Amino acid sequence: MRIYFTRHGETEWNRAGIIQGQDDSPLTEEGIEMGKILREKCKDIHFDSVYSSDLGRAYDTAKLICPDRNIIKTSLLREIDVGYWSGKNIKDVKEDDKWLHKLYFEKPHKYNRIDGESLYDLRRRVEKFFEYAVYPELDENILIVTHGVTIVAMYSIMENVPMENFWTNRVRRNAEFNICDYHDGKFKIIKKAPQNPVDSI
């Protein structure tokens, strides 16, 4: 099985440096164009299944990439729930919530919050998705449209990264393909999209 997976196109909040989490904001004009560019890049690939987070920014990107396909929406592919950080500027969170922000990036195995998910919660959710969409190896090619930190969690599973080293992989740029093969219980990374130039949450 070959897995093509991508972060959604650029959104209004991405551009403004606002944390989205499981809140949402619409794609920018550039974000819409990003989806169309991906559609052109994969026009000769037949995806047996197309999966998307059920959050609007990911689903809208999936529709741009595969406008004529049935897209399977699932909450298992949502971005991490960062509680009250959603809707706040990243710079403000870094300044006003220094301790939790520091835990998130420097000690991810200890990061936890009562109003959202830990990184362990996120990884377990992604693992549940893999259990029905990847591990059975029912398809030859699949497409997954999801979110920045969710993709980091995917890599942590694919590469068996300990939670202490979760951020070994950083958030990838919007609307760039990551590619991985999965056969006989083993992942092989084929391509990693470029890293996002700034930290994202």
> Which residues belong to the active site?
8, 79
Residues 6+ apart with CB under 8 A from 60: 8, 9, 26, 27, 35
Closest CA to 152 of 105, 88, 190: 105
Q: How many residues belong to the chain?
A: 201
Strand order in the sheet with 2-7: 72-74, 49-53, 141-146, 2-7, 178-183, 186-191
User: How would you classify residue 83: left for phi > 0, otherwise alpha for psi between -120 and 50, otherwise beta?
Assistant: left
